[in-house]
Amino acid sequence: MTYDHDPETYAINGCAMAAHSELGPGFLEAVYQEALAAEFALAGVPYEREVQLPIFYRGHKLQTFYRADFIRYGCIVVELKAMKIMTGVEESIMINYLKATRLERGLLLNFGTPSLQIKRMVFTA
């Protein structure tokens, strides 16, 4: 896959690969989250960690919110996992997050396997 038209995703993937290369699989998600935050800071690209995002239902903001692992560039949801096997459930959850928060792009990063798993997702209403 080429990221010529999505340099933000390319930058996030590079940071994730660096963190996974250094740590390898086997840690808890919180360890990868902290390492990825360090990589984001080193890259000098803005990010927010554990951001509360509003959820909308029929045009109304709900009191319930979603807490994203990261928001990069103010528009990309980055969700981390540390699982041996991801199922379609994680992808469905990401689509629901994008739909509910009205953000278009999401990255699902799984650090729990020997090779980093990256799933780029786009949702447009």
CA atoms within 13 A on the CB side of 77: 28
**C-alpha span between 47 and 121 (Å, rounded):** 19
The pLDDT value given to residue 66: 86
Tell me how far CA of residue 56 lies from CA of 16, 59, 91, in angstroms.
30, 6, 20
The pLDDT value given to residue 4: 56
Measured in whole angstroms, the distance separating CA 22 from the mean position of its chain's CA atoms is 19
Residue with tokens 């979603």: 66
| pLDDT of the chain, 125 residues: tens digit per residue | 445 578 899 999 999 999 999 999 999 999 999 999 999 999 988 899 998 888 888 989 999 988 899 999 888 999 999 999 998 999 998 998 898 878 899 999 999 999 999 999 998 87
Q: Where are the domains of the chain?
A: 7-122
For domain 7-122, the question of CATH label 1.10.8 is answered with: no
For the beta sheet containing 76-81, the strands, ordered from the edge strand earlier in sequence to the opposite edge, are 47-57, 60-72, 76-81, 105-110, 117-122
The answer to whether the predicted template modeling score (pTM) of the entire model surpasses 0.85 is yes
Contact yes or no for 77/71 (Cβ under 8 A): yes
Q: Looking at this protein, which amino acid is placed at residue 70?
A: F
**C-alpha span between 51 and 10 (Å, rounded):** 21
